[in-house]
Structure 1
Amino acid sequence: MPSHGRVEMTSRLRPGRWLARILPPSLLGRLVVVMVAGVLLTQLAGNWLWATQRHAEAEVEVRTATQHLAHSASKVVRFFLSLPANYRPLIIQQFREMGGTRFLVNVNRAPVEIAGIGEQALAEVAKAQVRTTLKEDVPNLSKLRIDFAWPDHLPVSDDGTTLNDMPEGWVQNVVLTKPAPAPILLIQAEMGPGNWLYLATLMPNPYFLDSGNPLTRDRVLLQALSLGAVLLLCILVVRWTTRPLAALSEAATAFGNGERMPELPETGSREFVNTVRAFSAMRERINRYIADRERLFVSISHDLRTPIMRLKLRTELLDDEQLRDEFHEDLDELEMMVKGALQTVKDSDIHENPTEIRLDALLGRMVRDARLAGHQVSFTASGLSVAAKPLALKRAIGNLLNNALHYGKQVELAVEPRGTNIAIVIRDHGPGVPPEALDSLAEPYVRLDHGREQNSSGMGLGLGIARGIVQAHGGELLLDNHPEGGFRATIVLPGAAFTPLDN
């Protein structure tokens, strides 16, 4: 494949790997994440569209309302401009005694310094509209200050008087603090040297700043409730949908390990019912095949024993002793092959229930037996146990140990945890195995030259039987040469079968 083709294929695979690392491993988690992400994206897009439209509508409303308010303020400014300077405080006092007007009015010698509410888009729109309208209605205004401020400690006069210092009747049309403080529009216009008109009022919509905010408390609460409802329904529906799949997965795992499982109920969606039916049919066919295989081998063993025995008796009638011995050797080899084939079937399919096995006790007994036979075997207690089929696991370890004793003489046994798994290591100090022969070493009837020399009675079935038993437990048999010399066989059992021994 050309290099650019590999680069293109790698670039296609990267997004899938990236998503696989982010998404949870379970189907339930992935469906929940995808559905919640879809709802969140929909809400964000909807909020953005709604906020854009609402902000545009709010700007139009603020401009319209502010224009009417500015026209009213223009009339007040023209009225005070038409009065002599010494009449203006008198008129203001009369306004206050009457209970005030829409505007809180005052006259100062200089503009009052105001602490504004900060940069806010709608406030800037309102200030610009007020300035434009006032300039159009009262073109002879030389200086003009417009701002928004909060009512608390708002200065009204250049002598330090604040809004809080004034009687409630004077400011009742200006101050709004419930349910929340509303910003006050302040207009300061110069009517002459040392004569500034101070106007304070509320906007027609006192809380106009909130009209363009998409994240109001009510809206956020409503969306949070809707997201929570979607998440809850999603978890319930997905769990209800994936629960049969989990049962199917457990049944497939148990069947692969040789355990007996009840029939799966044919309930749920149409696709799941079809899958259950296909799985049940497959399990039945495999069970029939295994049963037929056992019956076949048993029948072959039974049927071949009689002609083999008959042939052995007939060889005794031969006069040629050398020929008679050769016939006996061939028949013995044929009988051993038949027994070995039958043993392969039976030993790899031991029907037991898994139970907790204390590895120190199991391996300790095997080590003691080997030492009594004169072999050098070392073993260090690990304090671990494993859930497995006792006879089957003992058969697998025994085959590996026997091979190690035949070919390596000195043997070391060890048990160690590997992450969530457990490993049983059998290492000998023999000549090892050629690297090219490791892949086929566990195949039936495969024997190496040095194996035939040291163990002429073997048939090459031990490793194959051990591998079948380990795989039936959901584990793996690893065969390799030890870096310091000798051969090493490692039984790795999965985490589901690993149990720490209670002290």
Structure 2
Amino acid sequence: MRLFSGGPRIGLAPRLALQILLVVLTIVAVERASRMLVPIPDVIFMDREWLASTVADARSRLVDALPVAHAAEVGDLPASDLLTYGLTDRPPAEPEHEPAKIAGFKRTLAAALPPGTPIRVAARGLHGDVGRSFHTIAVVVTGIPARMVDVLQNDDEGTVIVSTGLEIAVGLGDGAWLTVGTRDDRSILMPLLRNLIPPVFGIAIILLISYRGSRVLLRPLQQLAVAAERLGRERSIVPIPEMTIPEYKAIADSFAEMQRRLKRFVDERTQMLAAISHDLNTPLTRLRLLAEELDDPRQRAQVQADIDEMKLMIRSSLAFARDDGQEAHVVVDLASLLISLCDTTSDAGQPAEYRGPDHATLPCRPVAIRRAFANLVDNGCKYGDRVVVELRDAPEAVEVAISDRGPGIPEAEVERAFAPFQRLESSRNPATGGTGLGLTIARDIVHGHGGDLTLANGAPSGLVVTVRLPKPSAAPGA
């Protein structure tokens, strides 16, 4: 299967064409091999004149022994390795359209019988594929040929009868009929194998080749899907394995170039925000020194409070601009992290309760994810008198719901709550309203892990923040 898994850089269309060609050639090879390994059905050659005279002789013997009582008289007929004899009162039905070959043979038979003798001839599988027959093949010809192929090639007059079951019935004159048929003592095992081997082996090989080829063709797409998922969770460039199919390689190259452009775009703006926030510290320091020289204590306190608020906003901006994408992903026990966070919050005098399993692991950036949940718990403590952190470990994702007993958020204000520097709390007190970056930073970190953060009002009051962090998919081919 190296044709599909490696080797030269063959395009997708040629690979599919070669796979189809390989399947067709395999089916033909299995068909030919089955015909060589499994013997064909037995063939009985009978001369037309000999068969007609044999039937006439058998009828004559029975008629001479009239009245015919039972089938015992059939046993007095000469034994034959080719034919079987029987008596019946129900001869084969007359066909609506009798083939010319059968009509010609009936004329030969009538010439050997007394005039007016009723004759019926039934030939099974006359026009079918006799090579797949479960029964002995009867061939009625004029003269015994040396080879079977000569029967078909030299049948210029269309008199050769090739049948999988020949039955002749002639009337005996007292309502009884003599039946003469070809002997068929062969087991059907070999014909059954001959008929079943090609389709069974053909289907098995088709499934095997199709499965192998499909895996090779789909593996690059699965690798691209995993890379796209990691790109949604990580800010670093995700490496893509080398691809040998030109069409897939073009997609992979375009995807890699897109990653580089996105990272450059984000890095430039992050560095710019960090530089602006850092440079603002110098003028703020000068302002604080000038504020110390104010004579009015109230004005001095107001100016210093404004400067402190601006510094808090700058520190929050630096945290927001920090390149968390450089932090490596490690497997973290998220349940233990949340339990520790709730204990720390409770020790600080703000009630926080954890509900959920004792352990729930997830690959993530531990410092960033702790900052996100700390911001959410801190927001809940500011606006509600009690915070409940509930974790649900599902097969596809980990969900964390953080609820409080505060006033909630109006539906129209939900999206605005995520905007940077937006404080829904009307006062400008940093102790209660913060800087307006807590939810923004939290959602940015959650989105960086490929997750989602939603807000909903609780019942009867309060706010429920739901964080959904998906678990990474299994690598293709694993």
Name the TM-score class by shorter chain: 0.5 to 0.7
* CA distances 1:364-423 after superposition (whole Å, capped 9, x unpaired): 222222222222222235133222222222111111111111101112121123453221
**Partner amino acid, structure 1, of 2:327:** E
* CA distances 1:93-134 after superposition (whole Å, capped 9, x unpaired): 9984xx76976679xxxx546899xx9x9xx98998599658
- Alignment partners' CA distance in 2, 1:370 and 1:101: 101
The secondary structure found in structure 2 opposite 1:362 is: helix
Judge conservation of contact 1:411–1:428 (CA < 8 Å) in 2. yes
- Alignment partners' CA distance in 2, 1:83 and 1:320: 146
Judge conservation of contact 1:70–1:130 (CA < 8 Å) in 2. no
State the 1:328 CA deviation.
4.5
The secondary structure found in structure 1 opposite 2:326 is: coil
Q: Which moved more, 1:308-317 or 1:375-384?
A: 308-317
Match of 2:469 among 484, 487, 493: 493
Q: How does 1:11-50 map to 2 (within 5 A)?
A: none
Judge conservation of contact 1:187–1:198 (CA < 8 Å) in 2. yes
Q: Which residue of 1 aligns with 2:409?
A: 433
Q: Which residue of 1 aligns with 2:128?
A: none
Q: Which residue of 1 aligns with 2:127?
A: none
* CA distances 1:218-248 after superposition (whole Å, capped 9, x unpaired): 3542243333333333333332333333333
Bigger share in helix? 1
The change in CA–CA distance for 1:317 and 1:269 in structure 2 (over 3 A counts) is same
Q: Which residue of 2 aligns with 1:163?
A: none
Aligned CA-pair RMSD? 5.0
The change in CA–CA distance for 1:495 and 1:140 in structure 2 (over 3 A counts) is farther
Q: Which residue of 2 aligns with 1:393?
A: 369
The secondary structure found in structure 2 opposite 1:440 is: helix
Judge conservation of contact 1:104–1:201 (CA < 8 Å) in 2. yes
Match of 2:167 among 185, 191, 215: 185
Q: Which residue of 1 aligns with 2:178?
A: 198
Q: Which moved more, 1:374-383 or 1:255-264?
A: 255-264
The secondary structure found in structure 2 opposite 1:485 is: coil
Judge conservation of contact 1:74–1:134 (CA < 8 Å) in 2. no
The secondary structure found in structure 2 opposite 1:427 is: strand
TM-score by length of 1: 0.61
- Alignment partners' CA distance in 2, 1:272 and 1:477: 34
Judge conservation of contact 2:121–2:169 (CA < 8 Å) in 1. yes
Match of 2:350 among 358, 369, 375: 375
Q: Which residue of 2 aligns with 1:236?
A: 212
The secondary structure found in structure 1 opposite 2:178 is: strand
Instruction: Say yes or no: does 1:218 pair with 2:189.
Output: no
Equivalent residue pairs, number: 388
- Alignment partners' CA distance in 2, 1:362 and 1:87: 107
Judge conservation of contact 1:377–1:411 (CA < 8 Å) in 2. yes
Match of 1:73 among 52, 66, 74: 52
Q: How does 1:402-441 map to 2 (within 5 A)?
A: 402-441=378-417
* CA distances 1:293-315 after superposition (whole Å, capped 9, x unpaired): 33323321232222222233345
State the 1:463 CA deviation.
1.0
State the 1:462 CA deviation.
0.8
TM-score by length of 2: 0.64
The secondary structure found in structure 1 opposite 2:416 is: coil
Judge conservation of contact 2:425–2:433 (CA < 8 Å) in 1. no
Judge conservation of contact 1:71–1:133 (CA < 8 Å) in 2. no
State the 1:358 CA deviation.
2.8
* CA distances 1:459-481 after superposition (whole Å, capped 9, x unpaired): 11111111111122222112111
- Alignment partners' CA distance in 1, 2:229 and 2:425: 39
Q: Which residue of 2 aligns with 1:298?
A: 274
State the 1:184 CA deviation.
6.4
* CA distances 1:254-287 after superposition (whole Å, capped 9, x unpaired): 3332275674354412222222322222222233
**Partner amino acid, structure 2, of 1:200:** V
The change in CA–CA distance for 1:330 and 1:290 in structure 2 (over 3 A counts) is same
Match of 2:453 among 451, 474, 477: 477
Match of 1:345 among 321, 342, 363: 321
Q: Which residue of 1 aligns with 2:142?
A: none
* CA distances 1:169-216 after superposition (whole Å, capped 9, x unpaired): xxxxxxxxxxxxx856252412x448x57352428xx79xx9xxxx96
Q: Which runs of 5+ in 1 are unaligned?
A: 1-30, 48-64, 150-181, 499-503
State the 1:436 CA deviation.
1.7
Judge conservation of contact 1:480–1:489 (CA < 8 Å) in 2. yes
The secondary structure found in structure 1 opposite 2:367 is: helix
Judge conservation of contact 2:420–2:436 (CA < 8 Å) in 1. yes
The change in CA–CA distance for 1:147 and 1:238 in structure 2 (over 3 A counts) is closer
- Alignment partners' CA distance in 2, 1:112 and 1:381: 85
State the 1:456 CA deviation.
4.0
**Partner amino acid, structure 2, of 1:189:** G
Q: Which runs of 5+ in 2 are unaligned?
A: 1-14, 32-44, 69-73, 125-163
**Partner amino acid, structure 2, of 1:244:** P
Match of 1:443 among 413, 419, 426: 419
State the 1:435 CA deviation.
1.5
- Alignment partners' CA distance in 2, 1:466 and 1:225: 59
Judge conservation of contact 1:350–1:392 (CA < 8 Å) in 2. no
The secondary structure found in structure 2 opposite 1:496 is: coil
Judge conservation of contact 1:382–1:415 (CA < 8 Å) in 2. yes
